[in-house]
Structure 1
Amino acid sequence: MTQHNAHRRRFLQAMGAAGAVAVAGCLGGDESGTEANSDQNGGEEEEEGLEAAKSVDIDQIARDPTDVPAPVDWNEPRTHDVTLRTQKVTAEIEPGVTFDYMTFEGQVPGPMIRVRQGDTVNLTFDVPEDMNAAMHNVDFHAVYGPGGGADATTIAPDDDPTQIKFRAEYPGVFIYHCAVPAMDYHISSGMFGSILVEPEDGLPEVDNEFYLGQHEIYTAGEVGEEGHHAFDHDAMMREEPTYVVFNGQAYGFTADGVGPMQANTGETARVYFANGGPNLLSSFHPIGNVWSNLYRSGDLLSEPANNVETTPVPPGTTTAAEMEFPVPGPVKLVDHALSRVVHRGALGVVNVQGEENPDVYDEDP
């Protein structure tokens, strides 16, 4: 058994009996079928077009989902000095599969920026020389101005850093992304992130905050095929991704990846979920839970929707959604276009620990 097939078998086993059934939380699916497809796509004849896997520049392309700035605790407008640097890194999509990512600050998604309505941001944007000849910029969906700042921030690697200033006029949670003419290629390669503009009265307190970004990766290799995967522009134009991932990594926040997210029973969590795209809508769903409060499309001013099972998150959108944890056990965060979960990597797990609550859920009544 090849390394990538062993990895995928361990992943399916980690999901529990029947593999894909446990992933989906509904009937259907067959682990052997997934294994067979992986064998067919990963054979030596199929790998001839791939280079050997490259040495990686970073052990983990996936940004830690708990890497979220602290909530706003000020009542008057402030000024924030923010620097965003582009960085090209080679990293693993999954074990044995390397890819050249383009990022903001070295991981996917780019760092979350958190301010209050009325705050001013002094942004410095830098494209170091190691980005080859590619032009880059940054378009903030939270900014009034040409291209959301993209027009003024468009620079090449040999240019001096550029600066813009903007005031956060409207609250919400919004995406930012590279917006040069090849923006679909750049976003697919990892160049997107989120900016949270809290309302003047702040947000309700929660016990945990997580930051996830979904995007598609289009490569010349098949899913799970070991080697270095070059970007496939034709596949992108057909909107046929090889991988659909959270934070740049297939199955990153599972036991076979960098590990699940953590919470305790009785706690609450808010998830900031950015869909970078560049093309596919995400159907964001917590298996074994609901979005107790859902701020549709990042709208933080309207009353949140309650107890929503699945919410559509279009590309170019960040949504905020909250969960409660009355019982222990894994909560699986998925794109409910389930082939993306079973085959392409769109899965993260929140490991909830604590006392059983048989009044709510009893496995052995």
Structure 2
Amino acid sequence: MSLIRRILMGLLLAAAGLGFSSPGWADHGPAGHGSQDVSYKPDVTFTLRTSIADGKLVFIGDRGEIANQVNPDLKVPEGAVVQINLINGDGATHDIAVPDFKAHSDQISGKNAATAIVFRAAKNGTFEYLCTLPGHKAAGMVGKVVVGEPSTEAQVQAPQIAHDPAQVGTPVGKRGPQKVTVDLLTTEIEGRLGDSSTYRFWTFNNKVPGPFVRVRVGDTVTLNISNAKDSTHIHSIDLHAVTGPGGGAAVTQVPPGQTKSFTFKANHVGLFVYHCATPMVAQHITNGMYGMILVEPEGGLPKVDREFYVMQGELYTAERHGASGLQEFSLEKLLAENPEHVMFNGSMDALTKVYHMESNVGDTVRIFFGVGGPNLTSSFHIIGEVFDKVYDQASLTSKPLTDVQTTLVPPGGATMVELKTDYPGRYLLVDHALSRVEKGVAGFLTVKGKADHTIFHSDEAIDPNSGH
């Protein structure tokens, strides 16, 4: 490092009020740099310290408004010259970078050693700061630089991949067996995960879960599966309703731009999961490649007032739950079965904000519920309601259980529940492993109509945010 540069960086860090036990900047490499022409007098300065919290590597705010915050949001005006100081608090090797602004420090390894980056926040939006050493971002060393006021419109431009729970197909009624054709398209698209986050989903027909396929026992079903030309992976389908090699997967390993087909007879009544079965299968499933097929009995299912299609799934991302921007897949978390996101119908708010499940007082509601997984068993429950009927493990030819509070559904499994909605209000669908609600798995069933005080009555105000 040149003498002039050491002096300049010494002045910068002295201005920031940092003290160092290291013998000098030359021992720790030059200060951070970027390709932009910026003033050496910063408009905004932040100081972060590397640390370990809850077994994860993190950045900790060292002073000021961000003091003691884990991976704090660094909020700056558009056009500001920004300095980020980094102090090594744990003695491991680290650096800091903001790739969108081409700012990247040198590595520091001694405890209490320090470095810095200086860059101009030249564009509005939300951008990552991170440690670029292999595995450190996935271990937790990533945060956000928020420049100006990011446009809400810009945050939600990604396609809406969440499946509408009201799209349940047409009941078969009393018709006889038929020949049925099902066409599916596999795609890889960056879709909306939440208000400020996206994920590169792999889908059937651009939705998560895929289409609700509805047939009758005895139908002869031809399934055509096409893989989009712009896909980068082979995809396939395994339907648990199929008797045959791989449930169809053995003959539907489809390269991008091609189509493969097979025909099967729907011999078993029930509600069955389908999913992609291309190695690594768990990765294809977690990315969104699951759905359900209903094989109705002869004469069809009994008529009800409302039917809904709900599936639970998990996402394993390098970024923590609640992070903004594009979320990246983490193989390490998938293998550890430690998802950052658990959701109904593909996104964080599919059944609380994007779509509205509604019924009237006195309606009978049927929910086709399945778990894509790939790993977690769901304890399906509706807070404030009791299932009048539960077709355990989606066995529609068995006598249903009655008066059930919570029902277990394994990954790759399903159930069908029915309930009469007797009292108006908003009822919360959850996985009763309730910590998962904090990871996103929740939905609303809104019941409209006149209250019957013989069922429930209180002079107290109803808290709409209450639960267990």
TM-score, length-scaled by structure 2: 0.66
Contact residue 313 and residue 373 of structure 2 kept, 8 A: yes
1:51–1:197 Cα change, 3 Å: farther
Does the alignment pair 1:176 with 2:206?
no
Q: 2: distance between equivalents of 1:40 and 1:200?
A: 58
Q: 2: distance between equivalents of 1:175 and 1:183?
A: 14
Q: 2: distance between equivalents of 1:228 and 1:335?
A: 26
Q: 1: distance between equivalents of 2:406 and 2:364?
A: 18
The amino acid of 2:382's aligned partner reads P
Which residue matches 1:142? 241
Which residue matches 2:443? 348
Does the alignment pair 1:359 with 2:359?
no
Q: 2: distance between equivalents of 1:361 and 1:315?
A: 36
Superposed counterparts of 1:101-180, under 5 Å: 101-132=201-232, 134-158=233-257, 160-180=258-278
Q: 2: distance between equivalents of 1:325 and 1:285?
A: 14
Which residue matches 2:349? 251
2:187 to 45, 70, 87: 87
Alpha-carbon offset, residue 43 of structure 1:
3.2
Contact residue 42 and residue 226 of structure 1 kept, 8 A: no
Which residue matches 1:204? 302
Contact residue 113 and residue 195 of structure 1 kept, 8 A: yes
* Residues 303-338 of structure 1: per-residue CA shift (max 9 Å, x gap): 100011000100001211111111000111100010
Does the alignment pair 1:48 with 2:129?
yes
1:233 to 313, 320, 331: 331
Contact residue 51 and residue 227 of structure 1 kept, 8 A: no
Does the alignment pair 1:269 with 2:365?
yes
The amino acid of 1:276's aligned partner reads G
Alpha-carbon offset, residue 42 of structure 1:
5.6
Which residue matches 1:291? 387
Contact residue 266 and residue 326 of structure 1 kept, 8 A: yes
Alpha-carbon offset, residue 41 of structure 1:
5.5
Q: 1: distance between equivalents of 2:71 and 2:300?
A: 50
Contact residue 223 and residue 242 of structure 1 kept, 8 A: yes
Higher relative contact order (CA 8 A, sep 6+): 1
Which residue matches 1:4? none
Q: Based on CA coordinates, which of the two structures has the bigger radius of gyration?
A: 2
- Moved segments of 4+, more than 4 Å: 44-47, 50-58
Which residue matches 2:403? 307
SS at match of 1:165: strand
The amino acid of 1:116's aligned partner reads R
Q: 2: distance between equivalents of 1:215 and 1:165?
A: 28
The amino acid of 2:303's aligned partner reads E
Q: 2: distance between equivalents of 1:155 and 1:312?
A: 34
Q: 1: distance between equivalents of 2:251 and 2:333?
A: 31
Contact residue 155 and residue 196 of structure 2 kept, 8 A: no
Q: 1: distance between equivalents of 2:340 and 2:208?
A: 17
SS at match of 2:129: helix
Alpha-carbon offset, residue 101 of structure 1:
0.3
* Residues 48-72 of structure 1: per-residue CA shift (max 9 Å, x gap): 2469999777542211000111211
Does the alignment pair 1:214 with 2:312?
yes
Alpha-carbon offset, residue 112 of structure 1:
0.5
- CA-atom RMSD, angstroms? 2.1
Which residue matches 1:3? none
* Residues 204-241 of structure 1: per-residue CA shift (max 9 Å, x gap): 21100000111000001011011211100100000110
User: What residue ranges of structure 2 are gaps of 5+ in the alignment?
Assistant: 1-65, 75-95, 97-126, 131-141, 145-149, 461-468
1:329 to 425, 444, 449: 425
- Whose helix proportion is higher, 1 or 2? 1
SS at match of 1:63: coil
Contact residue 209 and residue 270 of structure 1 kept, 8 A: yes
SS at match of 1:331: strand
Alpha-carbon offset, residue 94 of structure 1:
1.1
Which residue matches 1:97? 197
Contact residue 41 and residue 225 of structure 1 kept, 8 A: no
Alpha-carbon offset, residue 40 of structure 1:
3.8
Q: 2: distance between equivalents of 1:190 and 1:202?
A: 29
Instruction: Give the paired residue count.
Output: 323
Q: 2: distance between equivalents of 1:172 and 1:151?
A: 23
2:176 to 76, 81, 85: 76
Contact residue 271 and residue 321 of structure 1 kept, 8 A: yes
SS at match of 1:131: coil
Q: 2: distance between equivalents of 1:213 and 1:51?
A: 31
Superposed counterparts of 1:8-27, under 5 Å: none
TM-score, length-scaled by structure 1: 0.84
1:175–1:42 Cα change, 3 Å: farther
Q: 2: distance between equivalents of 1:356 and 1:41?
A: 47
Contact residue 72 and residue 143 of structure 2 kept, 8 A: no
Amino-acid identity (%): 42
1:280 to 376, 381, 399: 376
User: What residue ranges of structure 1 are gaps of 5+ in the alignment?
Assistant: 1-35
Contact residue 183 and residue 223 of structure 2 kept, 8 A: yes
